[in-house]
Structure 1
Amino acid sequence: MATATEQQVTGKPSKQVDEVRKYWLECAAAAPGHESLEAARDYGENWQRLTAEPRGVDYIETEAGGVEAMWAVPKGCATDRVILCFHGGGFFSGSMYTHRKLFGHFAKAIGCRALLLNYSRTPEHQFPTQVNEGLAAYKWLLDQGIKANHVAFAGDSAGANLAITTVVLARDKGLPLPAASMPFGGWFDMAGTGESRIYNADKDALFTVQWINDMAGMFVGEKGNPKDPCISPVYADLKGLPPIYLQAGGNEMLLDDSTLLAERARKAGVDVSFDIFPGMQHTFHMAAGRAPESNDAIARYAKWVKPKLGLA
């Protein structure tokens, strides 16, 4: 696994993982012109159809620091280690229900509990609501007696953003930091400077530049600054952050968000690993339990994070 440069994970896409591309095409078509927020949000509830049910995992709804949440608890897992998980969906869609099975696979592969946060969505709730809720959930875990170095963060897309910005906020608040962060398909630059938004425009089955900008506007708000470090972590001081392992699909318009974050984190002295999966779509991990590429990506995360949590 590369820690100094990006590792390209090669291979012809499987039939199973191609279902992610097909789903994104359907999702994009569900809201023509991306004018119907509710249509896109409703179609997003079908997201979980991509993911196979992980056997031997129980789900328990709870509240974490005043935020609705759900435990994913694999049979026989370590209960004193936790993956704090943030779902994707452009901040306006997705939920702990759409991502329940995905993070159930993470929890099972790693051998510990996962806590899925059902943070508030845009446009009803704008920044900094979501990152504040992430911090509240993390503080709640610490208050429950879970040690900081027994917690790792994970998240996809917008959730990947929170898996970094919440750590930045925790550091700035003087809290003990988690053991690691595992963002994938990350959306880290609301200013939209990455060139992959252009060179991958014809490969990405979901996004357009306009849609990305519209989602960013709902999150940032009229008075917000897209380069605020807790909005776009590529502009944050990343010194002192715990190890980060990024994964991204080679066909994503957001690919350069991960590339830029990896570069800036390394310059800040952070231990960074970064795998690019050529031919893969945004958050191809959602085909967990069905696609070999998705299973391989999660297995890589599990192998990387287990010793950091003391589970090796």
Structure 2
Amino acid sequence: MWHEMLWPLAAAQQSMDLVNRQMLASQCRLLRDYLNELNTNCRLPHDIELMTLDINGRAAELLSPKGSPTQRYMLYLHGGGFALGSLDTHRELAMAFARHADARVLAIDYRLAPDYPWPAGLEDALAACHWLLEQGVTPERLAIGGDSAGGGLAVSLLQSLRREGHRQPAACVLLSPWVDLSCSSPSMDLNAATDPLLNRVQMRAFAELYAGKQPLDSPAISPLFGDLQGLAPLHVQVSLQEVLRDDARRLVQGVQQQGGRAEIKETAWMPHVWQLLYRYLPQAASSVRQASRFIKAFTAAA
């Protein structure tokens, strides 16, 4: 799986003092190309229809359950540290949500660091959401989803929609969201020995590539430090053993303290974004179905 490809990159980043920023950027580009090539032969299952789109100059895909009259939509934002990931790496997960949530899932190939630091990715996510609204998708029929960096981007999207005066989507599903790019969550150290995929040094490097000249604790970069009032109902999933555990907990607590609706489901001994292993792990399939039930409970299908 593509997560395994992060291991050598993490091992090469044991000290930020030893990593040249330009070299790290080059590593990201090479790894991104490799991951995309690795996932290009994903077969489209018989029960899913795929429509290719161009949204504001970015490639996008609309994945729909074949034969379903559903008018429920989901905008899904892939993870990858804001520097990796693509439509190819997350297509199977998007299809799983289309199937189990009975939804038309829009995935967009948003711009990535280091070539396009903040706010490029957020601008593309906003453009995708605006496109759905322009097609007549009403907020009560729309859910937002994302994993890891895509989860943080999803929260930033909700905050941006509120600032623009739009109504919030009906639901938001976040898988191991990365919402504090300053890497100050206690679990960043407490779970360092139990997370086989991520570590503070690696994540700090990705954060700096994404943030550019912005401070890592800026609300624009780390949505955890932004306004958490009035957001869509959140369903958050996280592993008890991963370094982002407390990002998820702090986000849910922050939303609840502002009077919002947020729930968290913690699973033991799962890797970061284990839901990507949907076809292989029973726990991953169970988690996707659980998140899908949340989407169906809060969104209208017609």
TM-score where L is the length of structure 1: 0.87
Which residue pairs with 2:267 in the alignment? Answer: 277
- Per-residue deviation, 1:56: 0.9
Per-residue deviation, 1:151: 0.6
Find 1:214's aligned residue among 205, 217, 222. 205
Q: Is the 8 A contact 2:10 2:202 kept in 1?
A: no
Match of 1:166 among 157, 164, 170: 157
> Residues 202-225 of structure 1, C-alpha deviation per residue, up to 9 Å, x if partnerless?
11111221110000000101x202
Instruction: Say whether residues 1:255 and 2:234 are aligned partners.
Output: no
Q: Which residue number in structure 2 is paired with residue 187 of structure 1?
A: 178
C-alpha distance in structure 1 between counterparts of 2:287 and 2:32, whole Å: 27
| Aligned residue number for residue 287 of structure 2 | 297
Aligned residue in 1 for 2:19: none
1:146 to 123, 127, 137: 137
Alignment equivalent of 1:63, drawn from 38, 54, 59? 54
Unaligned runs of 5+ in 1: 1-19
Counterparts of 1:115 and 1:56 in 2: how far apart (Å)?
A: 16
Judge conservation of contact 1:148–1:177 (CA < 8 Å) in 2. Answer: yes
For residue 47 of structure 1, report the CA deviation from its aligned partner: 7.1
Q: Secondary structure at the match of 1:246?
A: strand
- Pair 1:33 & 2:30 matched: no
* Residue of 92, 98, 101 corresponding to 2:92: 101
- The 1:47–1:304 alpha-carbon spacing in structure 2 relative to 1, beyond 3 Å, is farther
Taking a change above 3 Å as real, the CA distance of residues 97 and 259 of structure 1, as seen in their structure-2 partners, is same
SS, match of residue 89 in structure 2: coil
Normalising by structure 2, what TM-score? 0.89
Of structures 1 and 2, the one scoring higher in RCO (CA 8 A, sep 6+) is 1
The alignment status of 1:74 with 2:65, answered yes or no, reads yes
Structure-2 separation of matches of 1:53 and 1:248: 28
**Number of matched pairs:** 289
Cα pair distance change 1:46/1:258, threshold 3 Å = farther
* Displacement after TM superposition at 1:74 (Å): 1.2
Does the C-alpha gap of structure 1 residues 43 and 249 become closer, same or farther in structure 2, counting only changes over 3 Å? Answer: farther
Distance 1:57 1:93, change over 3 A: same
Q: Output the CA distance in 2 between the equivalents of 1:137 and 1:26.
A: 28
Could you tell me which residue of structure 1 aligns to residue 223 of structure 2?
Answer: 233
Q: Which amino acid aligns with 2:6?
A: C
Measured against aligned partners, the alpha-carbon deviations of 1:231-269 in whole angstroms (never above 9, x if no partner) come to 211111111111000001122111111111011011011
Q: 1:124 to 1:291 in 2, by over 3 A?
A: same
CA distance in 1, matches of 2:229, 2:60: 30
Change (3 A) 1:64 1:39: closer
User: Which residue of the other structure, out of 120, 124, 130, is the alignment partner of 2:111?
Assistant: 120
Hey, what's the Cα distance between the residues in 2 that align with 1:210 and 1:238? Answer: 27
1:307 and 2:297 correspond: yes
Residue 6 (structure 1) aligns with: none
SS in 2 for 1:116: strand
Q: Decide whether the 8 Å contact of 2:188 with 2:244 is kept in 1.
A: yes
Secondary structure of 1:89's counterpart equals coil
Q: Find the aligned partners of 2:245 and 2:45 in 1 and give their Cα distance.
A: 28
User: Could you tell me how far 1:130 is from its partner in structure 2?
Assistant: 1.0
Over the residues paired in the alignment, what is the CA RMSD in angstroms? 2.1
Q: Distance in 2 between matches of 1:214 and 1:90?
A: 9
Given the alignment of the two structures, is residue 244 of structure 1 paired with residue 223 of structure 2, yes or no? no
5+ residue gaps in structure 2?
Answer: 14-23
